[in-house]
Every structure is written in structure tokens, then in C-alpha cells.
Amino acid sequence: MKIQNKIILVLLSVFLSYTLIFSGFIYYSISNYSFSDFYKRLEIRAITLAKSEVEHESEVDVIRELRQEYLEKLQREHIDIFKLSDLELDVDIMRLDHYKDDFVEEILKNEIAMYNDGRTFYYGMIYESYVGEKYLVIASAENYFITHHIRFFRNLLIVSLVIAFFIILLISFLFSRKIIKPINDIIGKVKEISSGNLHLRLDIKSENDDTISRLTQTFNDMLNRLETSFESQKNFISNASHELNTPLTTIIGEADVALSKIRGVDYYIETLTAILDQAEKLDQKTRALLMLAQTGYDGKKQEFGALRIDQLILDVKETVEKINPNSQVNIDFSLLPENHMLLKVVGNEPLLHLALSNLVLNGCKYSDNQPVRVALGVSAEQVIILIKDTGIGIPKEELQFIYDPYFRASNTKNHEGFGIGLPLARNIINIHNGKLQVNSEQGQGTVVRVILPPGRVQSN
């Protein structure tokens, strides 16, 4: 069932249920009131007739005049008066035959009783005169309100319910259409977006923080990630194919030349040396490529555990000095907290070690082994590792490409590298739910911030 039809069905069910319950309550209340009111009318008529029949003549005329003036004649109205002393002597007993026996017995027992047999209502009571004589008075009449007014009221409710049904149906349709329209607009816009036009975005028509706006913003955020991912993939494939094709072309070219004719031993040694050099470069690039791919699994295949971030930095310094003995890494622990538990993070130690080593090695390499400062700052909300160098920096217009695999800035021609370090480090930091921020100015150096959550990094 379509969601629009579901909305209509739900709204109809809710409103009709409420209308039926409310109408039933009104009908029941009015019916009960009409019963009580009619019995009260019969009681008044029974009392006034009894007074006019059995009291002093001085009062009889007044009562009769009041009865004729203010009490309307009910349909099929009939009132019987029986003297109890006569009934005990079986006088007029035949006149009680058309009343129910249990009705008469209840009057005699409780001095009041009432019942109805459909349209006709009966009210009975014991009336005691001023002189102490007791009388059985029974008044009956057809309840005109029940037979006519209630029937009219019932028909009016039925017609009102039918009209209300169609009104509610129309309102539900318009209301559901208004709700569904933004969703249909989103669906239509999303259908227009493909891999060829990922730059398109959904229009956020409302500035309010409602569900549709959040849904639209969520789609736009997803499209931003997809566009970034597609662009990165295109750049990755383009750069990877170039980087892998260059050594392969060199190897094939050297081999073809060497095999084109018989040559001397020295030439073969020189050729094999060149081939080996290119093969080693190809091996390094392939290993870097595989490592980069491994860090793209969002931590699903990585094991996480608790580790001390200050100890990790010390290990990174030791590793960097082994790889590059000329490096100068200065560690600043002046901002360490008194609570050593704040220094713990949850992560994969080899991967974090690899990411930080790459970042520090980059700082040493591009600053020509000038001092690189590594500072650690810790708070209850985050762990910040600051890596600052005074090297060649990165041109401002090229900062947006630093995370593209195999990308190297235009001012790095005099420094060896494959353009894998930063993308690899960012992937590793991402799977630790952290952030990698790079600020750089050409000729002034680079500042890298690694921000990690303390102690509760999620692993999938």
C-alpha cells in the first residue's frame, strides 16, 4: 500500500472513530435524559391530578386551572387513581389488570415505580392526602420525544456522519498529498542524479529543522561524500595507472633493448641494475597501494585495544630516527594531564604508529631534516597531536588535492616520495573516528593536527 493511502486510511480511522464515539455518547446521553425528563413529566401530572381529585375544593379549582394552563396534554395520556383501602377490599381491582403485576407490586412496596414498553411510559406512586388517605396513582403516556425527536436526531447524526466522512476523506487526501509532495520531489530529483552529474543537489525549501529538511540535508551530505569518493577514485585510478605504468614501461623498454642483439656483459649488468631499480620502485608503490586499500575497510578487519598515546609518540620518534638518522624530532609533553588515564585511547597500535610515523617523516623530509616539533595536548573530550615543521610547505591552491593518492605538490620535485603518506594517514585516522587537519603555507612550513577521541573509539 502506498504511504499516501496509508496516511488517508489512518486519518479516516482516527477521525471516524472519534466522531462515532462522540456521536454515540451524545445519542446515549440525550436518550437517557429524555427518559428521565418524561418520567418527571408523568410524576408532575400524577401529583397534580391526585391533588385535584382528592384535596379540598378550595384548592382543586386552583390546581385544575394551573394544570390546564401550564401542563400540555401528552399523547395518549392516561392517569388512574385508586384508593388503597378500596384495593384491599378488591374494589376497582379489575382496573389494574392492564398494568404489569410486578409494576403494581413495586409501587406498593417502594411507593414509586416506573417502566416502559417501548413508546408508552408508565409512572406509579403512592399519594397521601392531607387527611391521611393513601392513593395509588398511575400515569402513562406515549413518549413523543422518543418516537419523533430521537428518530429525527438519529437520522440527523447519520447524515452528519456521511457528510463528515466525505469531508474527512477530502481533507485527508489534501493533507497526505501536501505531506507526500516534498518526498515525491526528493524522489524525482534523486532519480535525475547519476554518476555523471553528482554535482547536483536537492533543494532545501524550508529553513526549519523539520523532518523533510533533515532528510534533504542527509541526501545532500551523502551526495557530497559520493562525489568526493568518485573524484578520489578517478584521481586514484589516474595517478595509480601513471605511477605503475612508468616503471613497467621502463622495465619492458630496457628488456627489449637488451634482447634486440647480443651485447657485452657490462651492458647486461647495467640493464639488469636498471630493471631491478624500477622493479623495487614498482614493489614499493604496489605495497603502498595495498596498504592504502587495507585502510579503507572502516576498521572492520582491524583489532582495537587500549594504548598510551604518549608512549606511542615515543615509539614513533624511535622509528623515525632509525629510518632517517639525520632527523631531529623534538617532543613536547608540557601539556600532559595529571590524570594519566586521559592519555589512553582505544585503537590499532600498528596502524596509528604507521600514520604518525608517515606524518613525522614527511615533516623531516620536507624540512631538510630541520627540527620537527611534536606536541601532545589532552582534554576530557579529545586527544590532539600537533606535528609542526618549518619546511617547504604546500602551495595554497594545491591543498585541496593532498589526500588524493599519488598526488605530490609541485614544489616537491627535489624530494623522493610516492604521494601515499597523507592519504594513508587520513584513512587510518578516519577508522579511529578521528580527524586529520593540515594547515600549510608555501615556504613557511606545515602544521598537522591529529585529533582522536579519548578512551572510547568505536570499532566495528
CATH of the domain at 233: 1.10.287.130
- In degrees and rounded to multiples of 5, residue 313 shows phi and psi of -65, -40
Residue 352 lies in a domain: yes
Q: Are residues 260 and 312 in the same domain?
A: no
DSSP 8-state symbol, 237: H
Start-end of H helices in 260-348? 265-294, 309-323
DSSP 8-state symbol, 176: H
Residue 190 lies in a domain: no
At a CB cut-off of 8 Å and minimum separation 6, what does 78 contact? 139, 140, 141
Residue 100 lies in a domain: yes
CA gap 29, 441 in Å, rounded: 84
pLDDT in tens, 281-309: 788 767 666 655 555 544 445 578 889 99
Q: Are residues 139 and 8 in the same domain?
A: yes
Residue 113's nearest CA partner among 126, 125, 95, 101 is 125
Residue 344 lies in a domain: yes
- Our count of domains for the chain comes to 3
Domain boundary among 112, 131, 150: 150
Residue 182 lies in a domain: no
Q: Are residues 230 and 315 in the same domain?
A: no
CA gap 228, 216 in Å, rounded: 18
Q: Range of 313's domain?
A: 305-452
**Between β-strands 305-308 and 120-128, what pairing exists: parallel, antiparallel or unpaired?**
unpaired
Q: What is the mean pLDDT of the chain?
A: 80
Stretches in the chain below the pLDDT threshold 50: 297-300, 457-460
Q: Are residues 133 and 18 in the same domain?
A: yes
User: If you search the block for the grid coordinates 640493464, which residue do you land on?
Assistant: 271
- H or E segment at 224? helix 211-259
Residue 162 lies in a domain: no
Q: Are residues 259 and 127 in the same domain?
A: no
Residue 451: predicted pLDDT: 93
Per the CB < 8 A criterion, the answer to whether 440 and 367 are in contact is no
Residue 186: predicted pLDDT: 79
Tell me the CB-side half-sphere exposure of residue 255, using CA atoms within 13 A: 10
Domain boundary among 119, 150, 181: 150
Q: Are residues 136 and 27 in the same domain?
A: yes
pTM across the whole model:
0.46
Q: Are residues 340 and 276 in the same domain?
A: no
Residue 206 lies in a domain: no
Q: Are residues 113 and 224 in the same domain?
A: no
pLDDT in tens, 111-144: 899 988 877 889 999 988 877 888 888 888 888 7
Q: Are residues 222 and 336 in the same domain?
A: no
Q: Are residues 275 and 331 in the same domain?
A: no
Q: Are residues 367 and 412 in the same domain?
A: yes
Residue 116: predicted pLDDT: 86
Residue 317 lies in a domain: yes
